Amino acid sequence: MKRPRWHYGLPIVINFASVFLSFCANILLARLIAPAAFGVFAIWQNNAQLFGTLGTFGQMNYVLRELAHTGGPRTDESRAVAKSAVVLSIAASIVLGAAGALFFAAVQHGSVAGAGLQLVATLMIGLLFTLSAVHRGMGSLVTGLVFDRLVYQVPFVLLLLFGGALLAGSTAAMAVVTALMAIAAAASVAYLLHRTGPGLMGADVPRSYSAEARAVLPFFVVNCLFVVNARYLLSYFGIFLKGEILGQIGFAFTLVAVMIIPISTLNLVAGPYLARRVRERGGERITLAYLGAVAAMVVAGVLVVVLAQPLFFSIARMELTLPVTFILLLATAIGVTCIGNAGLIILQFRGRAGEAAKLFSFAIGAKLVGGFFVASYLGMTALLWADILIGVAFLAVLLIKVLAPAKATGSDLPEAAVDLA
């Protein structure tokens, strides 16, 4: 179907708006509650997003691939894919959400009420992200993004602006965010029922849910590695720290997250082009140009974060006692992760998705195990150094593999291309 140009440009606008609203919400919330309470909320939010994304069971790209072969939202095939995706997501989100809630309460010093809210928020995030993929697979590209991002973010920012007294503590903020996500999930389900018609709930899944889960499992593994790599640092800080210093670190993560906006936008725009060109003649030059662009964005982002952090801490009315070298290390660690993700994208587009997953799993294992012991005995600054050193070593190996001659591996390329579309 031919679509207007804005249909493809609007997702970029939504991506920017979503990150900007999240950034504004955290600044406003930091002004309303004490630094220690903000630190608890930052850990809670990070956990909900971590376990919620895992709760999708890696289905986003799998669902897009499966729906690409159906004849429209009201066909039996589309209904079966949608129903199966929702059921698997709910089951995975409940299991992982319970594990995350226990982790928050037992290891990260969280309250029982916060743990319960995190369980519900995890379920809502998993459901929203899965439904978003279903909507996009059925042709509602913009609508799918709006439900899982803006529908709850806009009301939350408005409440912070005009009803701050209702959010005077971390638990109250958790409850409001969870309730707004539940409303967004209900609206997304209603829209899905409208698109597919009344036959969705009675749709026959062509194979068992266990078989469907096995089919999705490779996507889930890669998805896990990406998500854990992006969020494990803040989760580890939540284990070893508490009080005002944790609030400062949570807010520093908010600032650092802004540097990801241009990189995620580049990936959104360049993905289809890279998928076509990196295996052709001259693909090495395109690969180097892409990796160079990501590296330049990382360097610029690190500089902006380091220079702007006193201003934003002042706007948030939060005293800054963290040394600038610590924030520099934090931004560098996230930047190295972004460059590593870019290299993995290229490796998958070059038809080596299995090799990428194996290499990535070794790096994440080293970060999780090594990072825990480093943080336990040497502290948080040493944890950041360990993350950077492991990330740089991973990048060196990855670059050698990325620039090696492409190998034709049969069906591996189409799956990898869909995996990162």
DSSP string for residues in 76-122:
HHHHHHHHHHHHHHHHHHHHHHHHHHHHHHHTS---HHHHHHHHHHH
* Residue 35, phi then psi, degrees to nearest 5: -55, -40
Query: Looking at residue 420, what is its pLDDT?
Result: 33
Query: Looking at residue 418, what is its pLDDT?
Result: 35
User: Which residue type, as a one-letter code, is found at position 164?
Assistant: G
Distance of CA 332 to the CA centre of its chain: 19
Please state the length of the chain: 421
How far is the C-alpha of 86 from the C-alpha of 72, rounded, in Å?
18
- Output the CA torsion sign for 171, 174, 178, 179: positive
Q: What is the DSSP letter of 166?
A: G
Token readout for 312 is 């934003």
CA distance to 16, 83, 225, 307, per residue, from 418 (Å): 23, 21, 17, 38
Q: Residue ranges of the alpha helices (H) in 316-352?
A: 324-349
Query: Looking at residue 294, what is its pLDDT?
Result: 93
Given a contact cutoff of 8 angstroms between Cβ atoms, the answer to whether 199 and 45 are in contact is no
Which residues, including other chains, have CB under 8 Å from residue 101's CB and lie 6 or more apart? 115, 116, 118, 119, 122
Average pLDDT per consecutive 10 residues, the chain (421 residues; last block may be shorter): 54 80 89 90 93 83 70 73 85 93 93 95 93 80 77 89 74 92 92 76 61 71 81 92 91 88 77 72 81 93 92 90 93 92 80 76 92 94 95 89 60 36 30
Distance of CA 104 to the CA centre of its chain: 19
Cα Rg for the chain, rounded, in angstroms?
21
How far is the C-alpha of 221 from the C-alpha of 227, rounded, in Å?
10
How far is the C-alpha of 201 from the C-alpha of 354, rounded, in Å?
35
How far is the C-alpha of 406 from the C-alpha of 281, rounded, in Å?
10
3-state secondary structure of 360: helix
Query: Looking at residue 84, what is its pLDDT?
Result: 82
How far is the C-alpha of 18 from the C-alpha of 33, rounded, in Å?
22
Query: Looking at residue 200, what is its pLDDT?
Result: 61
How far is the C-alpha of 29 from the C-alpha of 119, rounded, in Å?
21
Given a contact cutoff of 8 angstroms between Cβ atoms, the answer to whether 414 and 356 are in contact is no
* Residue 199, phi then psi, degrees to nearest 5: -85, 5
3-state secondary structure of 412: helix
CA distance to 38, 39, 115, 130, 354, per residue, from 34 (Å): 6, 9, 20, 34, 46
Query: Looking at residue 414, what is its pLDDT?
Result: 38
How far is the C-alpha of 138 from the C-alpha of 255, rounded, in Å?
35
* Residue 108, phi then psi, degrees to nearest 5: -105, 20
How many degrees, rounded to 5, is the angle at CA 365 between CA 360 and CA 367?
Answer: 95
CA distance to 10, 34, 193, per residue, from 42 (Å): 29, 12, 34
User: Which residue type, as a one-letter code, is found at position 271?
Assistant: G
Given a contact cutoff of 8 angstroms between Cβ atoms, the answer to whether 231 and 46 are in contact is yes
CA distance to 199, 203, 248, per residue, from 194 (Å): 10, 15, 44
Query: Looking at residue 106, what is its pLDDT?
Result: 93
